Amino acid sequence: MVATSESLISFLAVATASLLRFEWLSACHQQAHNRPIWAYMQAKNKPKWAYLMAIGKYELLISKSHGLNKRREGADPFRPA
């Protein structure tokens, strides 16, 4: 019973975090740096979930490059090592 309640609590925590992240990404289309992606998706008649996936991939790219930048201590993350 304890393992079940722990896994349920873990699941609820992950689900809540995912919903909060989805709400944050939903608000991103109002920010200036995301408007070109939103305009492109609207022009191509893409659904909103495709736009949210594009924003998520963009953020993943930025977070990866930021991690590389931190490891190389101030180097340009978009220039090869």
Domain ranges of the chain: 2-71
CA distance from start to end of the chain: 52
pLDDT score recorded for residue 69: 47
Q: How far apart are CA 18 and CA 80, in angstroms?
A: 33
pLDDT by residue for the chain (81 residues), tens digit each?
Answer: 556 777 777 777 777 766 666 666 556 555 545 566 666 666 667 666 666 666 666 666 656 555 554 545 555 556 555
Maximum Cα–Cα distance across the chain: 53
- Determine the pLDDT at residue 32: 44
